[in-house]
């Protein structure tokens, strides 16, 4: 079998592969047409025979239609995969010689697998296949990969990488040390667009270990800004869906995402990898579901903006306490107190039968696995059974009513909200609970849900077999306590403690590990998003001695000073026009507050300018004006951080916000301010 050695031979082989892919696509189209014809014929036949069909015939017809629908969906999926392969059949190749063998096996690696069964064509291996792992894990020399049957050892004798777009080979790179550095540089230099891209061609060795991790029940990924942690987590889901396709489907996974814009931004990755989009849920939506839509509450972003807009020390004190692990400890003690004291068992006289309080209390405690407020109906049933067996007859309606009335008031006039409110009375800190116009503060939402789980019940999420939690640093211990009880499945938890937007409730990997003590923690220190110059600039705002910047160079960040606000706004207009005349596709103007963002949107009023607000659901190319909390997780070719003055950026929270804003930039960063710059811009 001829092994393609030269670039000319590789290009000829690519043409051969493309012809085979086109032929395969034609066969799928032919099959689809035939299927469509048969489907119509069956429909017509069943319509004509409908009057003479019995139940068995209808069941058989229904099953037939289900089989045909499955066949049609399979055809459609095959067509999508083939179209993607025709655009870019593969991105890598290794030649592997098994131990004890002589002939090298060329392993071409693509986003999907393909084999036509002929000796002239090597199969294209899906990037998730066991043999493809060597492309990411080894250089030339000794190598191995794991299969269900065990370890396969050998040597890698050649490594190549290609960029193929629209069926044309743009380049081929061969390197005997690390092929991916040069390709990575090329990929990172590309402009961003309105969707996160897949990174299968440039996954690094440490990232690959995370993606292919099959054993961790809980995996916590602490990654610096630009380390690709979200992308890695999504690729990990794609790998697990491939590896365990018999046990888990896309519908069995769930991602907790920070907002709808971010969810839209990452929505393209899994479909690009041949998997269905996975369900997504925000923490606010989850809270609404768990509370049965019965409570009005402040959203997380409203809480963040409240912190930014007002210096209310009482509000900060409430927030600080409810964001601490101390809250969970005290709440557990209070719930034990309720368990022991809330229910006061009465003695009940039913006709000639006295049901003693001790018996009733013993039956109440026997249901300790049942939420506290849900036990009364079960105790009533137990008492009725006890009385019935004593009198040896059925109970009258009056007797049943007697038992019901005596027990229904035994817990007092309680409600979930009142019991939660009384927690602070029990603490001797009534001042820690505030409701404005019957609206709960966000910091109270998950403590209330935690109480509901213990006192009543919440819906089950047993269908979720893998949970992804992004922006882990913005969730509090009580929120993790709720998630731990709700989801017993495997979890991937990721974030960066340096990018918190709530310094009063930030969680580090170490703190989350206390809630999931058997978790595995991995840390990513290499940053890929920004140029070396931008990364060096952001490190002066929030230093991290462990961070390693990719050596990709660009212009130095600019910090521009003005004496009048009007001058600053004119410069922002100029910078927007400069972007419009560049090759870049996305410009983020990232403000601290929503009022700043709205003001700039009015000043720059144009069709190519979009304003992202908490109500936004999608992200698009062009000029995007938004706030720092909404920009988290996004990236832009260029970023402008306006109004970076001493007045606006002065606290520890402001420092974190400024760092987040600047680290959104891939290629160019500009900050503007009027009069006095923030002390963080040294």
- With a cut of 50, say whether residue 177 has pLDDT above it: no
For 34-67, give the secondary structure using H, E and C: HHHHHHHHHHHHHHHHHHHCCHHHHHHHHHHHHH
For the stretch 296-350, pLDDT in tens is 999 999 999 888 877 789 999 999 999 999 999 999 999 999 988 888 888 998 8
> Phi, psi (5° rounding) for residue 50?
-60, -35
- With a cut of 90, say whether residue 508 has pLDDT above it: no
**Tokens 């990575």 correspond to what residue?**
184
- Give the residue-averaged pLDDT of 7-26: 93
427, 330 Cβ separation under 8 angstroms: yes
For 153-178, give the secondary structure using H, E and C: EEEEEEEEEEEEECCEEEEEEECCCC
| Tokens coding 366 | 């026997």
| pTM to 2 decimal places | 0.88
Angle, helices 442-455/313-322, rounded to nearest 10 degrees: 40
Distance CA 361, CA 359 (A): 5
- With a cut of 70, say whether residue 158 has pLDDT above it: yes
222, 471 Cβ separation under 8 angstroms: no
Distance CA 90, CA 111 (A): 7
- Give the residue-averaged pLDDT of 521-528: 95
First to last CA, the chain: 63
CA 516 to chain centre: 18
Nearest to 141 by CA among 110, 172, 108, 178: 178
Distance CA 539, CA 559 (A): 15
* b (16+ CB within 10 A) / e for 532-564: ebbbebbbebbebeebebbebebeebebbbbee
Which contacts (CB < 8 Å, 24+ apart) does range 135-139 have? 135/92, 135/94, 135/107, 135/109, 135/159, 136/203, 136/204, 136/205, 136/208, 137/205, 137/208, 139/176, 139/177, 139/178
For the stretch 28-62, pLDDT in tens is 888 877 766 666 666 665 656 666 666 665 556 55
DSSP assignment, residue 635?
Answer: -
| Tokens coding 428 | 């001797």
524, 206 Cβ separation under 8 angstroms: yes
For 473-536, give the secondary structure using H, E and C: HHCCHHHHHHHHHHCCCEEEEEECHHHCCCCCCCCCHHHHHHHCCCCEEEEECEECCCCHHHHH
pLDDT at position 369 is 87
- Give the residue-averaged pLDDT of 261-288: 91
Better pLDDT: 58 or 193 = 193
pLDDT cut 90: percent of the chain above it? 65
Nearest to 182 by CA among 493, 552, 599: 552
Of 94-98, 180-184, 582-586, the least confident: 180-184
256, 286 Cβ separation under 8 angstroms: yes
Nearest to 400 by CA among 416, 414, 384: 384
Tally Cβ neighbours within 10 Å of residue 19.
Answer: 10
């Amino acid at each position: 079998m001829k092994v393609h050695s030269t670039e000319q031979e590789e290009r000829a082989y690519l043409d051969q592969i493309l012809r085979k892919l086109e032929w395969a696509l034609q066969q799928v189209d032919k099959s689809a047409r035939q299927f469509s014809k048969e489907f119509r014929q069956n429909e017509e036949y069943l319509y004509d025979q409908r009057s003479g069909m019995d139940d068995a015939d209808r069941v058989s017809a229904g099953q037939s239609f289900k089989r045909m629908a499955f066949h049609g969906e399979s055809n459609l999926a095959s067509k999508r995969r083939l179209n993607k392969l025709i655009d870019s059949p593969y991105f890598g190749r290794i030649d592997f010689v098994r131990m004890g063998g002589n002939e090298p096996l060329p392993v071409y690696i693509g986003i999907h697998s393909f084999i036509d069964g002929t000796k002239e064509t090597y199969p294209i291996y899906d990037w998730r296949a066991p043999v493809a792992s060597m492309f990411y894990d080894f250089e030339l020399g000794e190598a191995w990969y794991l299969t269900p049957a065990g370890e396969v050892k050998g040597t890698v004798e050649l490594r190549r990488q290609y960029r193929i777009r629209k069926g044309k080979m743009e380049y081929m790179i061969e390197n005997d040390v690390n092929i991916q550095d040069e390709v990575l540089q090329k990929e990172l230099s590309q402009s961003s667009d309105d969707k996160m891209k897949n990174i299968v061609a440039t996954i690094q060795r440490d990232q690959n270990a995370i993606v292919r991790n099959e054993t961790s029940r809980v995996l916590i990924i602490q990654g610096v800004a630009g380390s690709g942690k979200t992308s890695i987590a999504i690729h990990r889901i794609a790998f697990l869906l491939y590896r365990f396709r018999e046990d888990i489907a896309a519908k069995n996974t769930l991602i907790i995402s920070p907002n709808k814009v971010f969810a839209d931004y990452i929505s393209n990755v899994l479909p690009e990898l041949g998997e269905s989009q996975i369900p997504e849920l925000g923490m606010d939506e989850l809270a609404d579901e768990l509370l049965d839509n019965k409570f009005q509450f402040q959203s997380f972003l409203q809480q963040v903006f409240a912190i930014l807009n007002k210096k209310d020390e009482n509000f900060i004190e409430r927030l600080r306490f409810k964001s601490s692990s101390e809250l969970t400890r005290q709440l557990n003690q209070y719930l034990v107190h309720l368990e022991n004291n809330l229910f006061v068992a009465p003695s009940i006289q039913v006709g000639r039968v006295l049901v003693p309080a001790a018996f009733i209390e013993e039956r109440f405690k026997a249901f300790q696995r049942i939420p506290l407020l849900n036990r009364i109906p079960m105790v009533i049933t137990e008492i009725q059974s006890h009385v019935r067996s004593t009198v040896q007859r059925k109970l009258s309606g009056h007797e049943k009513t007697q038992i019901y009335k005596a027990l229904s008031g035994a817990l007092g006039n309680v409600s979930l909200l009142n019991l939660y409110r009384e927690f602070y009375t029990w603490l001797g800190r009534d001042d820690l609970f505030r409701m404005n116009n019957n609206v709960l503060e966000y910091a109270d939402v998950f403590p209330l849900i935690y109480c509901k789980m213990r006192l009543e019940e919440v819906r089950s999420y047993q269908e979720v077999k893998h949970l992804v939690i992004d922006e882990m640093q913005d969730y509090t211990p009580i929120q993790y306590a709720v998630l731990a009880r709700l989801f017993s499945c495997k979890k991937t938890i990721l974030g960066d403690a340096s990018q918190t937007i709530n310094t009063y409730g930030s969680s580090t990997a170490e703190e989350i590990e206390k809630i999931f003590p058997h978790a595995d923690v991995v840390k990513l220190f290499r940053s890929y998003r920004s140029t070396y110059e931008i990364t060096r600039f952001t490190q002066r705002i929030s230093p991290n001695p462990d961070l390693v910047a990719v050596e990709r160079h660009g212009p130095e960040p600019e910090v521009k000073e003005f004496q009048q606000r009007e001058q600053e706004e004119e410069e922002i207009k100029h910078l927007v026009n400069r972007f419009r005349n560049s090759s870049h596709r996305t410009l983020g103007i990232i403000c601290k507050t929503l009022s700043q963002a709205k003001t700039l949107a009015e000043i720059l009023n144009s069709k190519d300018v979009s304003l992202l607000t908490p109500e936004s659901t999608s992200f698009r190319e062009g000029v995007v004006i938004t706030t720092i909390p909404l920009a988290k997780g996004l990236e832009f070719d260029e970023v402008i951080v306006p109004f970076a003055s001493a007045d606006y950026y002065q606290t520890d929270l402001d420092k974190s916000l400024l760092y987040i804003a600047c680290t959104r930039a891939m290629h160019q960063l500009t900050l503007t301010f009027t009069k006095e710059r923030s002390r963080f811009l040294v």
